[in-house]
Every structure is written in structure tokens, then in C-alpha cells.
A and B are shown apart, each in its own frame.
Chain A
Amino acid sequence: MNIETTIMALLVLAAVVYLARRGASSIKSFRENTNCSDCGCTKSGKEEG
């Protein structure tokens, strides 16, 4: 496998991991009855829209 493919594969992997973790954390924050983490409206108790 050449370097180019490796970088590409890593980036794709990072994207998948990021999306999965984000999904998991928004499910978690709903469980804990805090606010949503998706639309940025109430993110980390800082803003509301």
C-alpha cells in the first residue's frame, strides 16, 4: 500500500469515527436530559437559538 492510499484510508476512517462518536454523544446527552449537541442552539449550555 502506498502513502497516498494510507493517508486517504486514515482520513476516511477518522471521518467515520468522528460521525459515530458524535452520534453516540448526542444520544448520551439526551439520556442525561441535557441539551442537544446537533444544531448548535444550546451547545454546552452556551448558546440558544
Chain B
Amino acid sequence: MSTVTAVPPVAAKARSKPLLTALAGVPNAGKTTLFNALTGLNYKVANYPGVTVEKRVGTCHLAGFENIRLVDLPGAYSLFGGSPDEVLAADHLMGRLPKEDKPDVVICVVDACNIERNLFLASQIIDIGIPVVVALNMLDIAKTRGLSVRKELLAKNLGVAVVDISGRTKTNTDELLRAVAKAGSGEKRPGRYRWCSDKEFLDSAKSIGRLSRSDDTDDPDELIGIGIGLLSGSRQAESAKQRELLLAMRKQLVEQGVDAGAYETEERYSWVNSIASRSVVQVDGTRKDLTEKLDRVLTHPVWGLLIFLMIMGTMFQSIFTWASIPMDFIDSLFADVQVGLKSIIPPGQLQSLIADGIVVGVGSVLIFIPQIAVLYLFISVLEETGYLSRAAVLLDAFMRRVGLQGRSFIPLLSSFACAIPGIMATRSIPSFSDRMATILIAPLMSCSARLPVYTLLIAAFVPRRTVAGFLSLQGLVFLGLYLLGIVGALAIAYLLRKTVFRSSPSHFLMEMPPYRIPVAGQVLKTIWEKCAVFVKNAGTVILACSILLWFLASYPKTTDGSPSEAVRQSYAGQLGQAIEPIIEPLGYDWKLGVSIIASFAAREVFVSSVALVNNLEDVDEESDSLIDAIRNAKDPETGEHSYDLATALSLMVFFVFACQCMSTLAVCKRETGGWKWPIVMFVYMTALAYGAAFVTFRLSSSLLT
């Protein structure tokens, strides 16, 4: 079949089609940071490995390079690794994914401080035969450690373009993209198999590879690749003749004193090490010992734990103390708005809908913006400094005792923001039973949607007192709720391990990222975005729910009776009273029942709903702040306060454990491939929530009176 086929030049192809460019590299090399810088998108970046578990696509937004389409891949240490995210990255690079093209160019992001391990992967990628551009990252850190990087030497040895960049400060991205465009134009292909100086070896690999018919290629480099794959065992022989040749070659290697299976890896390592040691050199005194000293304290079983608790304690204290002033301000602002609107709009349905429905419903959620901001200030600073990996090491021992491994830490940690990315992050856990156990307990971590519920109930019912001189009681209760979720999760994990998922936790070595000073811009951006999402939610779902709830709590209109009687007879009232028998043992009245149902739309709606229904009940009373309105809610029959500390504690415990998030169940179904596990999740969490709330209510009402 020696027909002449006209091969279109790559450049021509590139003009009609976008240049597909993959970002590859070891975990934590800075791929996502670079991806965000190039695309203007905004994916999560954090100073620990395993954050990106799916590939993400975006178009370059820098002028002149709109033709470049970028794919951010999960990190991988090797193209032949085992965890699902590593396999995904390798499959994409080798064009093994169905319906997807092989990338035209690969940007290999290399962390200059970890050059050996990074170059190992880079050299594997170069061997695939796709044009490669090496992006040297983290040069700022290399500099502070006294490392000097010889870029030209590196480029010459690897045979590919090397560009020093910083995704963080967006330096040199233009030069990088120019190199990508040039590599994509197909002018120069990188030399493959540079690690192998043994021509004879390559020749025999080629002749063995030629016997594989399945790939149908004549390209000598491809054939060598097939031969090496056969030799290292990542490919199977296709014919008896090939097997025979393979055996002969193995034997020959063994005679030379070389292990055939490991030949490639060993040669590659020694080649990479020799390049690495020449191109990155220590020029002045190392500051590495500072990291070591810090690590020794921070991961110390006693001191480390103490510091960890102190950091967590400070975080929860600050959420209350720092946020209380802006919060009170926003709270009184909304109360004023409500009064103002009532004086503008003539009394009637519309006034009630706007002032008692929308303003109360949306406002009662918006007053928590300061808390959200403080929470994310802490989270993003902790993430960026690299402290969290130390915390993972610290907690590894505990997690191991309940049968979880350190790899579960990052999914569980992400779940404090939201269980959905948390559950998706479990894809970096190779073992099935480890992964399932982690998925099932991830929603027990208190996510940020629970925050307004906690803060509202605490602000309303826990006295503003200090204990032990300086700790605020409110902050302590808050910390307690988070800890309760963690303890609950560990207990469930232990049970799961003893029953359903019996297997010993697999080995895990957490890579310690270097300490980094967080960039103020990055931190502020995270805070801004989180608050923006929160506000957007308030303006959409919560607004819609408030309108609907107002309607349900105002109709059908009764002509006689007090406002509270009218609410009681409304649709919402009827619904609430129907479920009252079920929730009465927990200390809740029908209004809380309605609000719990409403909170299935979004947890924050609980707060809107409580504020809204109670507000409708006593429209006659002078309007206080939203929090006061809840605190002072009275039972219309007895005239006593409807809610006390025991009710509040029981409610908070309910929210710690209850599974009230449809999206979590849906993502659980998607990740586990069926309805079985989401149903298990919902049932066990609901039962746990009910039981724990019951116990809390009984205990606290008898202890507190």
C-alpha cells in the first residue's frame, strides 16, 4: 500500500481548527494557575496536590492567541500511574479517549524546585511524539532557595522550547504562547527517546514493534514506542513470532546485567537526573531548613495538634467577633428598608409581599455576608500557605485509626465548602472501598450553606458571653457544631469499615508542598467570588422561595381572626401542622417544620422561612431587627417564647447531620453509578439527624431548666 498520501501541513490545519493544547505536569506544579491566567477562567487553585481531578477546557483570552484551546489536566507523576485522575491525564495525552482528539501541543508545567520528578514526566510526554513546550514555573521560590536555573541548557538537552513563566503573576505568558504556536506549526518535532543512548536497543525495539499490526504505522519512532511498551510490560505481544523475539531481547539484556522490565525507567531516571543536576544548581546557602524546622513543629503530635486547634479556634471566634459589627449594621439596614417600604407602598397584598415577603426573606440571608467573607478569608489563606497539607499529615494518624487514609483528607476538606467538589475529589483515591467510605461521610462536614443557619440560630439564642475570660460562647458553640460533624463522620467511617467496606486502608504518602506567602489579590478574589455567589443565590433561589413562601403563608385569606390565626390556617400552616407530630419530639413547632421542608430548596432558605413566617405572625408589632424578630417569636396561645436554647441546639444538630441537598445526592449517584448509595446516604443521614436532634433536645431541656 504505497500510495502517495498528501499530508496537509499542520499549520494549515491549525488555522481552520483551534490548536488543542494540553497542560500537563505533576500535581501542584501550577497547571491550573497557568490555565486560569491564559483563559481568564477561574478554577480552584490550592497549595496541595489533587485539586484538579477532571480535565477542563477553555479558550485562550490573550490577544493574538484566541486560536489556542487549552485543556487543564489533573496532575500525574507518571503516564503509567494507577489512580483514576492519572489515568485520565495519560489517556488524554495519548489520544485514547473516545470522541476526543489528541492534543496538538502539550505545555508541560515544570516546578523548578522539584526538577527531577517533573522532568521525568516531561521526558515521558516528549516520547509520545506530540510537540512539547516546557513551562518552567515557581522560579520565585527557586530563587529564594538559592537555586539557579539554566534554561538554555535545559532546552538543549530536552530538545524542546523552555519558557520561564509565572502563572501567578502572569509573566512571560506571551512568550509561552508564541512557543506553543510555533511548536504547533509543526516546524520542528522534538527528538524522542533521548534518554536512550543505546542505538542497538532502539533498533531491536523498532523491529519488535514492527510486528504489532494493530497500530498500522510506519513511523520509526512510533514503532520504537511500541517495542518499549512491549518490553516494559505495558503492552501485550500480538503474535508468537513477536513473543519469541521479545524473549530473545529480554535474554540479551539480562546477559548484559540489565533488568528488562525496569530498563526504560532506570535509564530515563539517570538521564533526567544528570540533566537536572546540571541545569538547576544551588548557588547560595539553602533556606530549606526553615521549612524543615516549621514542619517539625507543625506536624508534631502534641504541638502540631495544639497549633491546629488554636488556628481552628481563632477562625471560629473571628467569624463571630469580626463579623458582628457589619452584620448588625446590615441587619438594621434591612429593618429600616422594611419600615420605609411600608410607608411608601399603600397597605395591602403588594405591600405585604414586598415588605414582609421579599425584604425579610432575602434580607435575612444577606446579613450573613460578613461571616461568609471571614470564613473564606481563613480558608483561602490556609490553603495558599501550604499549612493544610501539614494538617493532613497531623490528622492522618487519627484517620487511619478509623480506617480512613490521608488521601481522604482533601475530599473531606473540600466538603467544608461544598460536598459536591468534595465527592468529586474522591476520584484521586484509587481503592474502591476507601473511596466509597469517603463519599458517604463527605456530606457530614458542615458546608458553607449551613453557615447562615448556624450563625442565625447562634446569634439569636446563644447568649453573648465570654467563657474563661476571652473565649466567646457563641464562637465555641459554632466550633462545636463543626467538630460534631467531624466526629460524626469519623464514627460513621469506623462503622462502615467494620461492616460494609472491610479492607485495610491503603498506603499513602502526602506530598508536602512548600510554604508560600499568600498573595493578597488571590485571597481577596476568592472572598469576592464566594460572596458574589452568595448574593446571587439570594437574588435568585432565595428570592423565588421567599415569594412562594409568602404566598403559601398568606393564603387562603381568612377574614376573621388575628394575624397568627391567619398564618396558622394558610397552606403553609396546614402543611406544617400535618407534619407537626413527627417533629414535635425534637422540640419544633409547625413553623420550623415548614422551614425545614423549605430548606430542601437550599439550606439558607430555612433562615428566610423562619424570619418570614414569624414576621407575618406579628405584623402588628413594631418591627425589630430580623434576628430579634426570631428571638422574640411568641407562641400565640400561651404567649411564651416559641424557641429557646434547647430548640436552637436541637435544630443546629439536625442541620449538622441532615442530608438536605439534592445536588449532593445527584452527584453521589453519578460518581457511584446507581441509586443504591445515594439512597443509603439519605436514609442514614436523616436517621442520624433525627436521633441526634431528639437526644439533644431532651438532654438540653432537662439540663438547662
Contacts and interface: CB of A to CB of B under 8 A. Distances in A.
Interface of A: 4-5, 7-8, 11-12, 14-16, 18-19, 22, 26-27, 30, 33, 35-36, 38-43, 45-49
A27 B447 CA distance: 22
B502 interface: no
B537 A36 contact: no
Q: Categorize the interface residue count of chain B.
A: 35 or more
Nearest to B545: A19
A15 B421 contact: no
Contacts of B276: none
A12 B358 CA distance: 11
B544 A40 contact: no
Contacts of A46: 41-42
A26 B547 contact: no
B421 A8 contact: no
B350 interface: yes
A14 B543 CA distance: 11
B529 A11 contact: no
B290 interface: no
Contacts of A19: 541, 544-545, 548, 601
A7 to B, nearest CB: 6
Nearest to A29: B666
A41 B51 CA distance: 13
Interface of B: 41-44, 56-58, 348-350, 353, 414, 417-418, 420-421, 447-449, 529-530, 533-534, 536-537, 540-541, 543-545, 547-548, 551, 601-602, 661-663, 666-667, 669-670
Given A15-B548, A41-B418, A48-B44, A30 B348 contact: no
B420 A41 contact: yes
Given A15-B548, A38-B662, A47 B536 contact: no
Given A15-B548, A42-B420, A5 B536 contact: no
Nearest to B449: A39
A8 B348 CA distance: 10
A22 B530 CA distance: 20
A42 B44 CA distance: 9
Given A11-B547, A18-B540, A26-B663, A47 B529 contact: yes
B40 to A, nearest CB: 10
Given A4-B348, A4-B349, A45-B56, A40 B533 contact: yes
A12 B533 contact: no
A33 B54 CA distance: 12
A26 B662 contact: yes
Given A15-B547, A19-B601, A33-B670, A42 B536 contact: no
Give the most central of A14, A15, A35: most B CB within 10 Å: A15
Nearest to B58: A45
Contacts of B601: 19
Given A5-B349, A11-B547, A36 B41 contact: no
A39 B350 contact: no
26 contacts: A5-B349, A8-B349, A11-B353, A11-B547, A15-B543, A15-B545, A15-B548, A16-B548, A18-B540, A19-B541, A19-B544, A19-B601, A26-B662, A38-B662, A38-B663, A39-B420, A40-B533, A40-B534, A40-B536, A42-B420, A45-B56, A48-B43, A48-B44, A49-B418, A49-B530, A49-B533
Contacts of A11: 353, 547
From DSSP, what is the main secondary structure of chain B's interface residues?
A: helix
* Chain A contact residues, majority secondary structure: helix
A8 B420 contact: no
Contacts of B449: 39
**Which residue, B57, B420, B540, has most C-beta atoms of chain A within 10 A?**
B420
A47 B533 contact: yes
Specify which of A26, A40, A43, A49 lies most central, judged by the most chain B CB atoms within 10 Å of its CB: A49
B417, B447, B541, B544, most chain A CB atoms within 10 A: B544
Given A5-B349, A12-B551, A42-B421, A47 B42 contact: yes
Contacts of B661: 38-39
Nearest to B51: A48
Point out which of B43, B536, B663 has the most chain A C-beta atoms below 10 A from its C-beta: B663
Contact of B421 (A14, A33, A41): A41
Given A26-B662, A36-B667, A49 B547 contact: no
A45 B551 contact: no
A40 B418 CA distance: 9
B418 A39 contact: yes
Contact of B353 (A8, A26, A35): A8
B544 A7 contact: no
B388 to A, nearest CB: 15
Contacts of B551: 12, 15
A42 B381 CA distance: 21
Given A11-B547, A36-B667, A22 B541 contact: yes
A41 to B, nearest CB: 5
B53 to A, nearest CB: 10
A46 B663 CA distance: 18
A49 B422 CA distance: 9
B359 to A, nearest CB: 14
Contacts of A16: 544, 548
Nearest to A33: B670
Contacts of B534: 40
A48 B547 contact: no
A27 B548 CA distance: 21
B665 to A, nearest CB: 10
Contacts of A39: 418, 420, 447, 449, 661, 663
A35 B541 CA distance: 18
Nearest to B354: A11
A18 B543 CA distance: 10
Nearest to B448: A49
A36 B663 contact: yes
Nearest to A3: B350
Contacts of B537: 40
A6 to B, nearest CB: 10
